[in-house]
Structure 1
Amino acid sequence: MYQPIKTVLHRSWISVVRKPRRSAMLMLIITLVLTSLVSQAGVIAAIECVQENINNNIGLGFNVYSKSNSDSNVNKSEVADLEAVGSDSSNSDSSNSSETNKVSSSVNNSQFGISLEKAKMFSSIKGVKTSSYESETLAYARGMKLVTVSSGLRLDNDKLKSYEGVIGTTSSKLASGFQEGLYNLEAGKHIDSQSSHSAIVHKAFADKNNLQIGSEITLNQGNRNVKVSVVGIFSGKTQTKGIMPYDISENKIFTDIETAFTLSSTRSINSVRCVMSSDDLLHNALIEARKISKGKFDVEDNSSRFSAVLQSVKSVKSMVTMIFVILGLVGILILILVLVFFVRSRVHEIGVFVALGIHKVSIAAQMIFEIIIISLVSACLSLVFGAFSSRSIGHVMLSSISDSSISSLHIPILPFSQTVFALLLGFIMAILALLLALIPLFVSKPRSVLSSMS
């Protein structure tokens, strides 16, 4: 005799409530299995987030940098414009003069760059998904105050304090600082190849000069002026290589590359950044890039700084997966054994149901519903324990990585889809374990079940 589903559910609930010790023991084991599955889903999601961030956001590829011995032409008029800065005071001391020469040299060196034709050759290498060009120069930000830096250097010539570092780029997402994750765009949008007269400024510089999205800045170099509009504000800091105000992150302005070309009156490029569509193509791309360079430019494999991280991530992923798989298998084996005793301890109950004419399918359905009820409570507990364990393991894993662009990542603790899949898998495992324990009941005849009661 088959029974209505409502009756089976009611009997399942009564059985769970009236046997708290048995239910608690099953709940503990199922919670262990579900927690291992949920934790594994959370940790693997964290690891995949790290891998995706390295491959997509940071962009594994190569960079090409210009050398001072490049075949690009030097803009003599620009050197004269900058050297005029130090000539307006006959009382300037030798250190001040040397800094002026350093500034002139800095801008002058930006002219020894990569031609657009060469840059396009690097961008057209097989496997390059996207690329960006950068042209660096210096300029005055008219009417703007630079963020001060305590370098210990005393500058008598105020004009030396007003230089702004200008980085023209075709894609600020790939620019130095942004590509490594050291800079973060707080407001506005990035600069791309379609941008014109656009600028991204540091938050500290914007706060000091009351700048916001849409504000205009006039950049000046010699007799060349370019008015740009602020389209983005960024934060963050990179290691300062120099001691001048324009060397620090707060005094750098990212502009569209045409603005930098206009200011420097040359169309040479300082660096080309190429992102590969696949890691497998990087090796051949580097060989091709070095052939194009012919020793005139520096070709850098930017994946080298993340190779150790990627290897560590893969090792951790394999280790964590193995640990949680072992825990899950052990939990399932224990669950099967416990459910076998669970079924055998209820032989009298099953015999009574059979004597009353209740079909074995209805009896099995009652026990399945009991497991589902217990599993629902275990699922809630496993979410708590799983979130805690995956958070702890994820933080330990990321904190062991020295690179700030990776260790500072925000990782979802329990991704929805993976967590739901893990819970469903746990439920299926528990039900399958019960069905295995019920096999003797299904293959036995009713008379055998009744005779086993004695």
Structure 2
Amino acid sequence: MRALILGAVFLCMSTALFAGVAVKDATNTAAAAVSERFSSGFRLQSSAENVANTFKGEGIIPQAAIDTISAIDGVERSTTQVGAMANLPEAELVSLEQYSEQDERLTAKYGTFTQLEAVSDTSRESKFALGTLTLESGRHIGAGDVHEALVHEAFATLNDLAVGDTFTVAASALDRGNKYGSEASVTVTVAGTFSGTSVIGTGTRQDLFENIVLTDLATVWDLYGLTQDQHLYSAVDFTLSPGHDVDTVLAEAKRLPIDWNRLDVIRSDRDLAGVASSADGILGMVDTLIWVTIVFSVLILTLFLFLWLHGRRREAGVMFSVGIGRGRVLAQFVCELALVGVVAFGLAAVTGGAVAQAIGDAMASRATQSVRQDILTQTGGMLAADADTAATLKTIDTITVQPTLDDLVWVYLIGLSVIVVAVLVSSMPLLRARPRDLLARMK
């Protein structure tokens, strides 16, 4: 009966430990996976003062400035971006899930007016690197592409579009970036589809991820009717070569003759702040789970062993009387418990593996809510619902727990340590007693 009780205690302890260690490994893996997709660098974009009446702000960064910064030692490459707005005369926008009077009013006035985001290489765009958007089919848009587009899978389904199909984007007089009043239209080919849902509520369908159209730079230039000397960019991401410091490169860049008052400089690691904070939150909860499990296990085992060893005082007294050392007696008690523990710890691979994913999901959800609430509090709740803003709220919202043999090894190491500590604490009165006292008490 005592062995069954001990086995149950060990199984509960090892299950919690195994799940905790597995979740910790999965969290570190998820954080590392996101970090690996990011290289050290910084972004230049139109400052807040330049963003008005449009989702992205008109382009203000000339190619000459990009070339000058790119020539700085340590700058490996640049990824340029132009934000625009366009009409989709042959398509329909994805509607909001809930009715919005503002959305109905704007839709009636502007129709299929929506975001058009041109990127020189979408695979290096921060929203894809963070996982805010995920390519589901087809390919990314890169250098050399002309009149290609990536659309959300929901938009593609609504408009019966597949990779290789075409649709039309038309310049709009409502777009501030359309300085010259172009009325051109461009037929683009669907290069791929992506998925992603905003974590920020919105009152207009234009802000939905589902209605963003990502395209190549040539499409926007043709849409605006711009010549090469008129090309201006809304944002540029500069990636540094390994081993180069962002602050050092930025200090050199700011000595260049560029109007920095019209630009915001954002370090690339800012986009990882939510990921890092959520990872720290999950790891903190895991550490708490592990330590609470260890402490309670030691306490419960110690109390149980006090009662168990009380019934073995005569046996201990006899062993001491015949010259068996206290160390050997202590080792015997540890080995007896370890025999039960070894079996229970092995079973934890099954029981712990069964609950680890649920524990990981719960911890990730709680950490995500906490981080996002902190960000909303810091900004006073004033966050736009577009994809770039939503990227700042990116966290580790899901983790895939895949227990390994290393996790089980940790359970054995921690479990055996708990047994040793509990035996040491509970056996101290027995080990300190003289053999004659132990035998006398039994009489």
Question: Is the counterpart of residue 392 in structure 1 residue 362 in structure 2?
Answer: yes
Q: For 1:48 and 1:193, locate their aligned partners in 2 and report how far apart those are by CA, in whole Å.
A: 34
> What is the aligned residue count?
383
C-alpha distance 164-401 of structure 1, shift in aligned 2 (>3 A): closer
Match of 1:133 in 2: 80
Unpaired runs of 5+ residues, structure 2, are 97-102, 172-181, 320-328, 376-389, 428-438
Match of 1:65 in 2: 45
Q: For 1:218 and 1:389, locate their aligned partners in 2 and report how far apart those are by CA, in whole Å.
A: 47
Match of 1:78 in 2: none
| Equivalent position amino acid for 2:260 in 1 | G
TM-score normalized by the length of structure 2: 0.63
Deviation at 1:169, TM superposition (A): 0.7
| Alpha-carbon RMSD | 5.4
- SS class of match (2:214): strand
Bigger mean CA deviation after superposition, 374-383 or 192-201:
374-383
- SS class of match (1:214): coil
- SS class of match (1:29): helix
> Which deviations, in whole Å up to 9, do the C-alpha atoms of 1:276-302 show, x marking residues without a partner?
678994444544454444425422325
Q: Which has the larger radius of gyration?
A: 1
Contact 1:122/1:289 (<8 A) preserved: yes
Contact 1:240/1:247 (<8 A) preserved: no
Question: Is the counterpart of residue 425 in structure 1 residue 413 in structure 2?
Answer: yes
Deviation at 1:305, TM superposition (A): 6.6
| Equivalent position amino acid for 2:397 in 1 | L
C-alpha distance 325-254 of structure 1, shift in aligned 2 (>3 A): same
Q: For 2:241 and 2:18, locate their aligned partners in 1 and report how far apart those are by CA, in whole Å.
A: 32
Q: For 1:107 and 1:431, locate their aligned partners in 2 and report how far apart those are by CA, in whole Å.
A: 61
> Which deviations, in whole Å up to 9, do the C-alpha atoms of 1:88-123 show, x marking residues without a partner?
xxxxxxxxxxxxxxx9x979974x532334224445
Match of 2:218 in 1: 258
Match of 2:234 in 1: 270
Question: Is the counterpart of residue 168 in structure 1 residue 118 in structure 2?
Answer: yes
- SS class of match (2:160): coil
Deviation at 1:137, TM superposition (A): 3.7
Deviation at 1:392, TM superposition (A): 3.5
> Which deviations, in whole Å up to 9, do the C-alpha atoms of 1:320-364 show, x marking residues without a partner?
426624642663586588679868967999999xxxxxxx99999
> Once the two structures are aligned, what percentage of the paired residues are identical?
20
Q: What does 1:11-30 align with in structure 2 at a 5 Å threshold? A: 20=1, 22-30=2-10
Match of 2:264 in 1: 299
Contact 1:43/1:394 (<8 A) preserved: no
Contact 2:81/2:233 (<8 A) preserved: yes
C-alpha distance 397-345 of structure 1, shift in aligned 2 (>3 A): same
TM-score normalized by the length of structure 1: 0.61
State which of 307, 317, 340 in structure 1 corresponds to 2:283: 317
Q: For 1:155 and 1:385, locate their aligned partners in 2 and report how far apart those are by CA, in whole Å.
A: 50
Deviation at 1:132, TM superposition (A): 1.8
Match of 1:14 in 2: none
Question: Is the counterpart of residue 119 in structure 1 residue 66 in structure 2?
Answer: yes
Unpaired runs of 5+ residues, structure 1, are 1-19, 71-102, 353-359, 440-450
> Which deviations, in whole Å up to 9, do the C-alpha atoms of 1:225-260 show, x marking residues without a partner?
6543212223445579997x8666444321122333
> Which deviations, in whole Å up to 9, do the C-alpha atoms of 1:37-73 show, x marking residues without a partner?
2243144235435643653457775321146999xxx
Deviation at 1:181, TM superposition (A): 4.7
Q: For 2:197 and 2:147, locate their aligned partners in 1 and report how far apart those are by CA, in whole Å.
A: 24
| Equivalent position amino acid for 1:133 in 2 | T
| Equivalent position amino acid for 2:407 in 1 | T
Contact 2:74/2:244 (<8 A) preserved: no
Match of 2:433 in 1: none
Contact 1:146/1:162 (<8 A) preserved: yes
- SS class of match (2:10): helix
Bigger mean CA deviation after superposition, 370-379 or 198-207:
370-379
- SS class of match (1:299): strand
Contact 1:147/1:205 (<8 A) preserved: yes
Deviation at 1:426, TM superposition (A): 4.3
Contact 1:332/1:430 (<8 A) preserved: yes
Contact 1:309/1:401 (<8 A) preserved: no
Q: For 2:421 and 2:203, locate their aligned partners in 1 and report how far apart those are by CA, in whole Å.
A: 67
C-alpha distance 123-56 of structure 1, shift in aligned 2 (>3 A): farther
Q: For 1:59 and 1:146, locate their aligned partners in 2 and report how far apart those are by CA, in whole Å.
A: 34
Match of 1:83 in 2: none
